[in-house]
Amino acid sequence: MPPLSRWFIRAALLYLAVGFTFGALLLGNKGIPFAPWLWRLLPSHIEFLVVGWTVQLIFGVGFWILPRFRGERGWMAPAWATFWLLNAGVLLAALAPPLGAQGGWVLVGRLAEAGAAACFAVHAWPRIKAAGA
């Protein structure tokens, strides 16, 4: 497995662990309310699991398995930019609401996530080809 895929998949697993922990806290607090402020973790729970875990795992595995060019994976700059933009975006969009930051930070996070998706498309597009082509 290439180094970038390892970074993607390890980061995805960290988000899975934290996202599930937040989910368990939310669920427990829903059954037996013990800390009303815990509801502030709901946006982080959603962001960590939907984008930090699911999307990141897809990028990590996609980068690994898409067809290569004589063993090479093509233009690496947008692939690494995907990793950094996605994680900066997830952290901003997930942590701004519970920390009470201005809504603009969530927007910046979402723009970073959109940038990550665009970078992944730029990297992956030439690799979408028939076997042996």
Task: Name the site residues for ligand HEM (rule: CB under 6 A).
Answer: 20, 23-24, 26-27, 30, 42, 45-46, 49-50, 53
The single-letter code of the amino acid at 90 is: V
Q: Shortest distance, CB of residue 108 to ligand HEM, whole angstroms?
A: 21
Is residue 83 within 8 Å of residue 119, measured between CB atoms?
no
Q: Which is nearer to ligand HEM, 26 or 66 (CB)?
A: 26
Q: Shortest distance, CB of residue 50 to ligand HEM, whole angstroms?
A: 5
Q: Which residue is nearest to ligand HEM (CB)?
A: 23
Q: Shortest distance, CB of residue 54 to ligand HEM, whole angstroms?
A: 6
Q: Which is nearer to ligand HEM, 24 or 99 (CB)?
A: 24
Is residue 84 within 8 Å of residue 51, measured between CB atoms?
no
Q: Which is nearer to ligand HEM, 4 or 51 (CB)?
A: 51
Q: Which is nearer to ligand HEM, 45 or 73 (CB)?
A: 45
Q: Shortest distance, CB of residue 132 to ligand HEM, whole angstroms?
A: 36
